[in-house]
Structure 1
Amino acid sequence: MTDRPDRTGGGPGYRELAAGQRAQLWIADAVTGRSELLLESGELLFEAPNWTLDGARLIVNGAGQLWSVPLDAPALTPIPLDGVPPLNNDHVLAPDGARIFVSATDWHIYEASLAGGPTRRITTADGLMHFLHGVSPDGERLAFIGLEPAAGGTAMRADVFTMSAGGGDYRRITDTDHPADGSEYSPDGRWLYFNTEQFTGHAQLARVPVEGGAPERLRRSDTVDWFPHLSPDGRRAAFVAFPPGTEGHPADLWVDIMTARTDDWPGATPVARIFGGQGSLNVNSWAPDSTRFAYVAYPGTRSAA
């Protein structure tokens, strides 16, 4: 889930680089753990890479829109979308490889073509703020985080929901006062993986059957763990570990990009220590062959302090 946009309308509605800061797109080898820098920009703050089904491109967001990055000639090429507000970093590719579902700064979810063009809003004015994170393997349902006022209206609660990819048929999967985020389908379609504060009061990784039930904790750690993303073959996962005591998933911190075998979550190991956090690994960025994944770092003057 991205940071909630400013209700007052101030600012551009998307993140921007600080003076002297850069956005770096990295690709990590899931076997060796080595990372290779693919692209760097000192002008555009891009976020949240998705890997296309053909393995040829990465899709990121930046300045409120989508961008395509070909792997054979890395450069940022805009994907023009019509009829959608500025986008945030919650976007997921459809299993057909031709469409993408995106979240916008009006807190709604839209369907679009990776070729660009018209969009279609699929969420309704139901009192929720919608933050997309997953699409079922058959493309029939979406997993999203719904934000709504808690009892008394003094705070917001964040629960896991699913809905029809065509719109409607909302189903609440979690129902607690402990925030959840990053809800994503497993490749076999049986589970929703996410992070939740219900175990210890800080974000930990969990999964729950797609029909709902008691969440299963995957890993016990002092770090604040966010955004579990499973590889297409279901054998590996990547996630972000924030420092102990971190509240939410802020930007501009030293964080660890972690990998784990899905049969050994406690044995997770760091792939890279980066200056980043928000935007680095918000959505699934695995290559279709499950050998690599992408992430974003944001080094700059503050990271050297």
Structure 2
Amino acid sequence: MKHLLFSVACIMSCSLPLQFLMAQQKIISILETVEVSSGQRTVLCRDTSHFEAPNWSRDGKYLLLNKAGKLYQFQIDSKQWNTLPFGAGLKANNDHGFSPNGELLAISSGIVEKDDPAFGKGSVIYIADAQGGNLRRITSLSPSYWHGWSPDGKTLAFVGQRNGEFDIYSIPASGGTEKRLTNTPGLDDGPDYSPDGKYIYYNSYRSGKMEIWRMEADGSNAEQLTDDGYANWFPHPSPDGKQLVFLSFMEDQGQDHPFGKDVRLRIIDLETGETRNLTGIFFGGQGSINVPSWSPDSRYVAFVRYEVIK
């Protein structure tokens, strides 16, 4: 979650509209998978709690989601929820994901260091063990929101607000100096590496509407991939590098990606350039597919949709 400048900061981005909706009616979160070849959808879980942003574990056995500031494993076979054993200070938002070898997690969270003047505020990036624990801070500046991990495991791609502008940055996974990769007016967001490490896919408002772009991993040679009637966000290449899934809002949201809108998943064949609908329209947006959610075999995509029960 991000973009305080555009009314979508970590807490405010979905909690204000969500609180309004919850005060008026009941919201149900629904975790689904969709088979890419057939479009067949499978509901894994329906729950009255608000959860977001599924990541598929590297062994394919569970999905990682955030709920109320904590991270949970949802076991696909048993349908069991397991809470990752982080301390009470963790305030995870919906930007999190696995290292290429599956042993580590990148987590965007409010600051957990009590000696930091911004304790509990903003968002910075942490690295932790995949099963919980050993949390260590990577970015010093806030707000910072993780979105991608280079395939060699050495570099993180993230979105940061610096001097009032949201741009894409990279930083060593071990910590160090961040590097600015985009430098154009308007929001750049959602960076995710291609499996060969050559490209970073992202969404950008630089053309006057939110569209999918890609650039080389050093930030050079940016090119626009979509130009249509949708507002397009959060591109994620498949592990085999053949397809790109992303979230499309039915109406232009400007530089905002709110909760509670009509959206659908769409997909680009990266070999032919053909774009098609992966799902029909559903109620979602913020929290549906912010982070990489492909199955390890590139056959399925996990996402969250919501229902309003009046």
Aligned to 1:258: 266
Q: Distance in 2 between matches of 1:265 and 1:49?
A: 26
Q: Percent identity?
A: 33
Q: 5 Å matches for 1:59-78? A: 59-78=64-83
Contact 1:84/1:104, CA 8 A, preserved across alignment? no
Q: Distance in 1 between matches of 2:291 and 2:309?
A: 26
Q: Distance in 2 between matches of 1:214 and 1:260?
A: 20
SS at match of 2:73: strand
Aligned to 2:150: 136
Q: Distance in 2 between matches of 1:26 and 1:300?
A: 17
Contact 1:84/1:119, CA 8 A, preserved across alignment? no
Aligned to 1:146: 160
- Which amino acid counterpart does residue 122 of structure 1 have in structure 2? I
Q: CA deviation at 1:122?
A: 1.0
Deviations, residues 127-165 of structure 1 (Å, cap 9, x unaligned): x4101000000110000001123xxxxxx3111100100
Q: Distance in 2 between matches of 1:99 and 1:292?
A: 22
Deviations, residues 200-234 of structure 1 (Å, cap 9, x unaligned): x1110000001122310111112100000111000
- Which amino acid counterpart does residue 284 of structure 1 have in structure 2? P
- Which amino acid counterpart does residue 140 of structure 1 have in structure 2? K
SS at match of 1:211: coil
Deviations, residues 176-198 of structure 1 (Å, cap 9, x unaligned): 11111001111000101000011
**2:183 is the alignment partner of 1:175:** yes
SS at match of 2:232: strand
- Which amino acid counterpart does residue 183 of structure 1 have in structure 2? P
Deviations, residues 276-296 of structure 1 (Å, cap 9, x unaligned): 100000000000000001000
Aligned partner (choices 222, 226, 234) of residue 215 of structure 1 = 222
- Which amino acid counterpart does residue 31 of structure 1 have in structure 2? S
Contact 1:259/1:271, CA 8 A, preserved across alignment? no
- Which amino acid counterpart does residue 125 of structure 2 have in structure 1? I
Contact 1:51/1:58, CA 8 A, preserved across alignment? yes
> 5+ unaligned residues in a row in structure 1: which ranges?
150-155
SS at match of 1:22: strand
Q: CA deviation at 1:172?
A: 0.7
Contact 1:218/1:266, CA 8 A, preserved across alignment? no
Q: CA deviation at 1:99?
A: 1.2
- Using structure 1 for the length normalisation, give the TM-score: 0.89
- Using structure 2 for the length normalisation, give the TM-score: 0.88
RMSD value, Cα = 2.1
SS at match of 1:287: coil
> 5+ unaligned residues in a row in structure 2: which ranges?
3-7, 111-121
SS at match of 1:271: coil
Q: Distance in 2 between matches of 1:265 and 1:23?
A: 33
Deviations, residues 81-116 of structure 1 (Å, cap 9, x unaligned): 137531100001011212110001331100111211
- Which amino acid counterpart does residue 155 of structure 2 have in structure 1? R
SS at match of 2:27: coil
Q: Tell me which stretches of 4 or more aligned residues in structure 1 moved more than 6 Å.
A: none
**2:34 is the alignment partner of 1:20:** no
Aligned to 1:104: 109
Return closer, same or farther for 1:261/1:84 CA change in 2, 3 Å cut-off: farther
Query: How many matched pairs?
Result: 289
Contact 1:39/1:75, CA 8 A, preserved across alignment? no
